[in-house]
Amino acid sequence: MSNASQQSSVVVIGGGYGGITLARALDEHAHVTLVEPKDAFVHNVASLRALVEPTWLPRIFLPYDQLLAHGTVVRDRAVHVDADQIVLASGQHLKPDFIVLATGSTYPFPAKSDEPNTVDAIDHYRAAHANLERANQVMLLGAGAVGLELAGEIAAAWPDKHIVLVDLADQILPGPYDQRLRDELNRQLDNLGVERVMGRALAHLPDIPPGEAGTFTVTTTAGTRIEADIWFRCHGITPVTGYLGDELMGARTHDGYLKVTPQLQVVGFDRVYALGDIAAIDVNKAGVAARQAQVVATNIQAHLAGTAERADYNPAPPALILPLGPTGGAGQLPNRDDIATAEFVSQVKGRDMMIDRYAKLLNAHPTVPS
Ligand SMILES: Cc1cc2nc3c(=O)[nH]c(=O)nc-3n(C[C@H](O)[C@H](O)[C@H](O)COP(=O)(O)OP(=O)(O)OC[C@H]3O[C@@H](n4cnc5c(N)ncnc54)[C@H](O)[C@@H]3O)c2cc1C
């Protein structure tokens, strides 16, 4: 490591899956500042499990204080970002050598939480858990990966509850997936008694907010009547790019993502990178964000070393590991011809929801329930 590279500064905006992976990878090579408004990393991959099993809650909020040996994690929010300057909510201005945008996406609760304080976020999950526990009938709006996973978690925790998944699409799990994966998930959902009302929208939303207790009746546009005691919204991902200044805004797509080069620079900007859910180059996945972080780390290091060679990010073929509770689910993997079984899914994800992997990255030590 040269002195010059030691003095180069990198500000990573957003401490989600991509941001923490990148900050950690560059910590030895540059002066890294990670800007994040939350007081802890939120392992949202396990948030649906934590909703039905609140003993998991303390384990999905992992502190940032042991992430970096040299760099700093600043608890703040970027409110205006230009190609050479970042303005934080505190009023502080940062002018680093490299800016990395890793602000991810929002998703309706309980899949993601927007509470900046862990204590408040845990209170929100506990309150929703108490409401869910009392409900006999549950309506989940959206039969994509989040709706299916939440249905599986609720069915595993409370086999007697009636669950209905509602979606405008004709079949579950939109996306470029093998039909055999849908068939297997449908088979397991039938065994769990999860009803599906597909191909129609609701004529109107329930008059009770999502996650709150209260019996309601809604009808689909085809006239199907659904009665439930609680509902959750399981659709609506939104990339977070609203803080960009005019210049960088020019690289935004119509739906809020950022156009990037194969090297993950924001198109038109040599020293501004974007990765993870905001980058318009691959699907929205934690694993994708982490792989992109490695590419950005390689490219910033090459820049610091003065070499011209840059690494490209290559999107991977469709892959999904979808648990339905701790022991159910199915998956599709690029290197396998068959559909991954419930046993496999449970082993690689459903049992511990990959908490260990991220706890290790953050040097945090949660205890995974057996
Ligand atoms: C229920 C659920 C289960 C999932 N399971 C899987 C799975 O099993 N495998 C998988 O690969 N993917 C999974 N995903 C997808 C995965 O969670 C996302 O793809 C991932 O969170 C994207 O990571 P990211 O780093 O781009 O952004 P995020 O994880 O969204 O992190 C962005 C961070 O930026 C911060 N931020 C936002 N705005 C600002 C700002 N202005 N200034 C500073 N910081 C800011 C946020 O607070 C946040 O901490 C799942 C998603 C959900 C909802």
The separation between CA 297 and the C-alpha centre of its own chain, rounded to angstroms, equals 21
* 3-state helix vs strand vs coil in the chain, percent to 5: 30, 25, 45
Of the chain, the percentage scoring pLDDT greater than 90 comes to 95
Q: Are the C-beta atoms of 72 and 60 separated by less than 8 Å?
A: no
Which residue type, as a one-letter code, is found at position 316? A
Q: What is the pLDDT of residues 208-231, one digit of tens each?
A: 999 999 999 999 999 999 999 999
Supply the residue whose CA is at minimum distance from atom 14 of ligand 1.
285
Mutate to test the pocket of ligand 1, among 11, 13, 17, 64 (most ligand atoms within 8 A of CB): 17
Average per-residue pLDDT for the chain: 95
Best mutation site among 33, 60, 105 for ligand 1, i.e. most ligand atoms within 8 A of its Cβ? 105
Query: From the alpha carbon of 103, which atom of ligand 1 is closest?
Result: 34
Question: How far, rounded to the nearest angstrom, does the alpha carbon of residue 62 sit from its chain's CA centroid?
Answer: 15
- Using DSSP bridges, classify how beta strands 40-42 and 61-63 pair: parallel, antiparallel or unpaired: antiparallel
Nearest protein Cα to ligand 1, atom 20: 286
Rounded distance between C-alpha atoms, residue 160 and residue 154, angstroms: 10
Listed residue (297, 306, 292) closest to 260, CA to CA: 292
C-alpha dihedral, 157 to 136 to 162 to 191, nearest 10°: 30
How many CA atoms are closer than 13 Å to the CA of 136, on its beta-carbon side? 4
Model confidence at 6: pLDDT above 70: no
Q: What integer pLDDT is reported at residue 365 of this predicted model?
A: 72
Which two tokens mark 91?
């009023």
User: What is the tens place of the pLDDT at every residue in 85-123?
Assistant: 999 999 999 999 999 999 999 999 999 998 999 999 999
Question: Is the model's pTM score more than 0.85?
Answer: yes
Q: Of 102, 115, 100, whose CA–CA distance to 42 is shortest?
A: 115
**155-200 residue pLDDT tens:** 999 999 999 999 999 999 999 999 999 999 999 999 999 999 999 9
Protein residues whose CB sits closer than 6 Å to any atom of ligand 1: 13-19, 35-38, 44-45, 47-48, 77-78, 102-105, 107, 111-112, 146, 240, 243, 276-277, 284-287, 289
* Ligand 1 atom having least distance to the Cα of 275: 26
| 332-348 pLDDT tens trace | 999 889 999 999 999 99
> Nearest CA to 42 among 366, 369, 370?
366
What distances in angstroms separate CA 148 from CA 110, 128, 168, 170, 319, one per listed residue?
13, 18, 14, 14, 16
Pocket test for ligand 1, best of 114, 277, 295 (most atoms within 8 A of CB): 277
pLDDT recorded at residue 258: 98
Residues 6+ apart with CB under 8 A from 87: 78, 79, 80, 81, 93
Rounded Cα distance, 167 and 328, in Å: 22
SS3 181: helix
Query: Could you read off the pLDDT of 270-294 as tens digits, one per residue?
Result: 999 999 999 999 999 999 999 999 9
Can you tell me which atom of ligand 1 is nearest the CA of 283?
A: 19
For residue 328, the CA-to-ligand 1 centroid distance in Å is: 24
Judge whether residue 369 has pLDDT over 90.
no
Q: Vertex 82, ends 81 and 86: CA angle to 5°?
A: 45
Give 182's Cβ-side CA count (13 Å radius): 13
* Alpha carbons 333 and 321: distance in angstroms, whole number: 8
Confidence band of 370 (pLDDT split at 50, 70, 90): very low
Q: How, if at all, do strands 225-228 and 40-42 pair? A: unpaired
Calculate the alpha carbon distances from 339 to 97, 285, 344 in Å.
Answer: 46, 19, 10
CA separation for the pair 68, 72 (Å, rounded): 7
Q: How confident is the model at residue 366 (pLDDT cuts 50, 70, 90)?
A: low
Whether the Cβ atoms of residue 4 and residue 345 lie closer than 8 Å to each other = no
Q: Which residue puts its alpha carbon closest to atom 2 of ligand 1?
A: 45
Q: Does pLDDT of 69 surpass 60?
A: yes
